Structure 1
Amino acid sequence: MSRLSRLFSRRPAPSASSAGPPASTGEARRATLAHLEEFVRTRVGVEAYVEPPTHDTGATLLLIATTGEWTRRRVPDERTAFDVAGSLGIPVYNVRFTGYPQRMRDWNSAQRRR
């Protein structure tokens, strides 16, 4: 088990009443970590922003490159998000305090115009 994979192990095992087999959860975790690692590896100046859970979704980890391109993935909790970002070796911020960077809004606007 890789160091990043262990970060997700804090999440309790699914109960018998929860949907989906446990094996798919492990596969989803590996896919999430692989996606985040690939994003950091293939972009310049990536920073992480931890988003708190909301009524509709759990905590998320948002990665934003210097170009404003971004990706977001759900994580078990905020602490795990900070740990994953730290493991990726990138700066990490709490979006409650910093807000979203202008480059992300600019990138989103450019994508809508296309």
Structure 2
Amino acid sequence: MGFLDLFGHSGAARRGEADPADMAHLVAWTRNHYGVEAFVEPRTTVTDVTVALVAHDGEWTRRVVGERGAQRLSGALGVPVYDARRVGYPQRMRDYEARRRVLERRAAALT
């Protein structure tokens, strides 16, 4: 077991490749939602290249894909792929999060 394995990092992600389980999640998520667009996020000091998938209603998911996985995303998922640094995130994603927070506050107030 390597040091990064203690923090949940797979060997595939360290080599710039997507973990097969993460890619399977992205494919399944894309099939179960419509109007999906992919936003590739750059590598940071903490994570490798990631992708955020955003559906028509703003619901989203994020996974580490690595550089090689990011290059194969469009073909693998069949959705438009954007560079998040250049285009930012869609307003519907922020609206979805705002609605989710309101619903969580209401649920907490009822308990």
Give TM-score scaled by structure 1 length: 0.72
Whichever residue aligns with residue 71 of structure 1, its letter is: T
Matches within 5 A, 1:77-96: 77=67, 79-96=68-85
Q: How many residues align?
A: 94
Whichever residue aligns with residue 81 of structure 2, its letter is: V
By how many angstroms is 1:31 displaced? 1.5
State percent identity of aligned pairs. 47
Contact (CA 8 Å) 1:50, 1:82: kept in 2 or not? no
> Residues 19 and 104 of structure 1: is their aligned pair in 2 closer, same or farther, counting only changes over 3 Å?
closer
Q: Is structure 2 residue 15 aligned with structure 1 residue 34?
A: no
In 1, Cα distance between equivalents of 2:71 and 2:36: 14
> Residues 65 and 17 of structure 1: is their aligned pair in 2 closer, same or farther, counting only changes over 3 Å?
closer
Bigger Rg, structure 1 or 2: 2
By how many angstroms is 1:56 displaced? 2.1
Whichever residue aligns with residue 33 of structure 1, its letter is: M
Unmatched segments (≥5 aa) in structure 2: 13-17, 104-111
In 2, Cα distance between equivalents of 1:31 and 1:58: 16
> Residues 105 and 17 of structure 1: is their aligned pair in 2 closer, same or farther, counting only changes over 3 Å?
closer
Unmatched segments (≥5 aa) in structure 1: 1-15
Q: Is structure 2 residue 89 aligned with structure 1 residue 104?
A: no
Q: Paired residue for 2:57, among 67, 76, 95?
A: 67
Q: CA RMSD in A?
A: 2.2
Q: Is structure 2 residue 38 aligned with structure 1 residue 58?
A: no
User: Deviations along 1:3-47, whole A, 9 cap, x unmatched?
Assistant: xxxxxxxxxxxxx85554xxx757x82221111011110101100
Contact (CA 8 Å) 2:27, 2:76: kept in 1 or not? no
Moved over 3 A (4+): 16-20
Q: Paired residue for 1:48, among 38, 43, 65?
A: 38
